[in-house]
Amino acid sequence: MKHATTAPSLAISWLLMTGLGSAGAAQGGVDFGKSEFETSCASCHGASGKGDGVRFRHFVSPPADLTTLTKRNGGVFPFQRVWDTVDGRTEVENGPHGTRDMPVWGLVYRAQAQDTPHPPDWYARNRLAALLDYLARIQEK
Ligand code: HEC
């Protein structure tokens, strides 16, 4: 993998920073995507998803408003683009200012899979799918 030297260390430092490594997978009747969003995304993107999380001031580029993805894409939720952005493994170095402020969730989730009996790719895809389902539900009309 092209970014093998930098990307995993980014994911690991992120895990240490947030303690996410100990967070287990939600089960049962929980809104998995919502709780995932609150755990992993709200600190930057805000509880509402509007980009007003408390950590925004640390970044060169402000965290995006995640409730207008559909609106900004001609009324269609840009599923593939959001998936690739959040997963992040294919575009680690992209970003408006040449660096990426977003954590590389694809790697974070793969690392967390080691605490579960699941194959890393399967686990990461399920986490992403729940999250995208939630994001699609919070879009402004
Ligand atoms: C550490 C802060 C931080 C966290 C945590 C974070 N993001 Fe982001 N996110 C950003 C920033 C900053 C941007 C703006 C562009 C960039 O630097 O990549 C962004 C951009 C995005 C975009 C692109 C939006 C667009 O308009 O194209 C999506 C989608 C996104 N984030 C989803 C998420 C999801 C889902 C999570 C939780 C799994 C999350 N982010 C967690 C900081 C964060």
Considering only residues 115 and 19, tell me which one the structure prediction assigns the higher pLDDT.
115
User: Where residue 56 falls among pLDDT bands split at 50, 70, 90?
Assistant: low
Enumerate residues lining ligand 1, CB below 6 A: 40-41, 43-45, 55, 59, 61, 63-64, 66, 69, 82, 85-86, 95-96, 100-103, 105, 131
CA dist., res. 108 & res. 113, Å (int): 9
CA dist., res. 140 & res. 91, Å (int): 27
At position 54, the amino acid (one-letter code) is V
How many CB atoms are located within 10 Å of the residue 41 CB? 22
* pLDDT confidence of residue 137: 96
Q: Which two tokens stand for residue 136?
A: 């699609």
For the chain, what is the mean pLDDT? 76
Of ligand 1's atoms, which has the minimum distance to the CA of residue 36?
Answer: 38
Report for 6-15, 20-29, 104-113: range of highest mean pLDDT = 104-113
* pLDDT confidence of residue 57: 62
Name the residue of 15, 36, 45 to mutate for ligand 1: max ligand atoms within 8 A of Cβ. 45
Of ligand 1's atoms, which has the minimum distance to the CA of residue 97?
Answer: 17
CB under 8 A, 24+ apart: contacts of 23-29:
23/112, 24/115, 25/116, 25/127
Compute the CA torsion angle 96, 100, 32, 18 (nearest 10 deg): -140
Q: Tell me the pLDDT tens digit for each residue of 87-132.
A: 887 664 554 444 567 788 888 999 999 999 999 999 999 999 999 9
Q: Whose CA is nearest to atom 39 of ligand 1?
A: 41
Q: Is 53 left (phi over 0), alpha (psi -120 to 50) or beta?
A: beta
Q: Whose CA is nearest to atom 43 of ligand 1?
A: 102
* pLDDT confidence of residue 131: 95
CA dist., res. 84 & res. 86, Å (int): 6
* pLDDT confidence of residue 118: 95
